[in-house]
Each structure stands twice: as C-alpha cells, then as structure tokens.
Amino acid sequence: MELLIIRRAVREGDPWSGHMGLPGGHRHEEDSDDLDTAVRETREEIGVDLTDGGELLGTLDDIRASANGQTIELVISSFVYLVGASPSLELSSEVAETLWVSISSLANGCYFSSHEVELNGRRKVLPSWKIHGRTVWGLTYRIVSNLLRHMAA
C-alpha cells in the first residue's frame, strides 16, 4: 500500500510554499463540512475525484498547526481514502510534483531522518523522512505519523 505525497508549488505568501505535503486546504463557504473540503481540494489539486471510486477508510486525530514553533489557530482534519491502483493525476498550478511512497517502508523507519530548522533564532532538529531526495517534515510528518499510529493499533 502506498501514500501519495505532493510538493507544493512555490508561491509568494504561502508559508508551506515548496514543502512536501498532502492534498488539502482551507474550507470554503460552499463546503458543507471538512470532508467536503477534503474531497474538493483533492479534486482541485491533483484531479482525483474521491467520490468516484475512492473509499473513505476513516479520519485521523485533528492536529493543531504551528508556525515558527508556535501553535496557531488552525486545526487540520485529515481523512484517509483508498483509491484504485495508480489513479490518473492532473496537477493544478498549486502542485509542483507528486510521489508515491510505501507505507510499510515509512512504518519500518526506512526513510527516517532529521531536519534542521531555525525557529525564533534558535536551531532545532526535527524528525523527518528523506524520500527520493525530498524532505517530509513538520505538519505533514505529524499527519502521516498519526496515520501510521492508527494503522499499527
């Protein structure tokens, strides 16, 4: 089983610009709930319609986002879907690239690494994964770790 990870396009004003992430985004007025937001954002960002052939497996624990080492007023709700083998992807201008990674390899520590960042003038070493030359850290690392905990339970 594999997990799709995206690299966000570089965009001015986007704090996660160029980072590895997961499809998703902010809730719009027309979204009936967080699940509707996740389905819409996935369709918009990578061209996959989760309502057509996707199977909702469940939700993960909500995670509070942080910026510069400080918790911010943003809560991330994550939904886990199973889709057919190699769905056709149509990347929007918000997504620079995608990569598929083996979930068992992540769980077994094959890609485990660390990532050094500067937060409030201090250097901090955070857990990460190095996958095919890309670093997955921060919020995405926390969400995927949450998924791995749920799968192991």
144 within 8 A of 3, measured Cβ to Cβ: yes
Across residues 138-148, what is the average pLDDT?
Answer: 95
| Domain housing 131 | 2-152
CATH of residue 92: 3.90.79.10
Task: Specify the length of the chain in residues.
Answer: 153
- Cβ contacts of 83 within 8 Å, gap of 6 or more: 48, 50, 53, 54, 55
Across residues 23-42, what is the average pLDDT?
Answer: 96
What span, in angstroms and rounded, lies between the C-alpha atoms of 40 and 50?
9
Q: What is the pTM of this model?
A: 0.92
The reported pLDDT for the residue numbered 115 is 96
Across residues 6-23, what is the average pLDDT?
Answer: 91
The reported pLDDT for the residue numbered 14 is 80
The reported pLDDT for the residue numbered 29 is 96
* pLDDT tens per residue across span 86-135: 899 999 999 999 999 999 999 999 999 999 998 888 999 999 999 999 99
The reported pLDDT for the residue numbered 16 is 79
The reported pLDDT for the residue numbered 49 is 96
* pLDDT tens per residue across span 34-88: 999 999 999 999 999 999 989 999 999 999 987 767 778 889 999 999 998 789 9
Provide the number of structural domains found in the chain.
Answer: 1
More confident residue, 119 or 27: 27
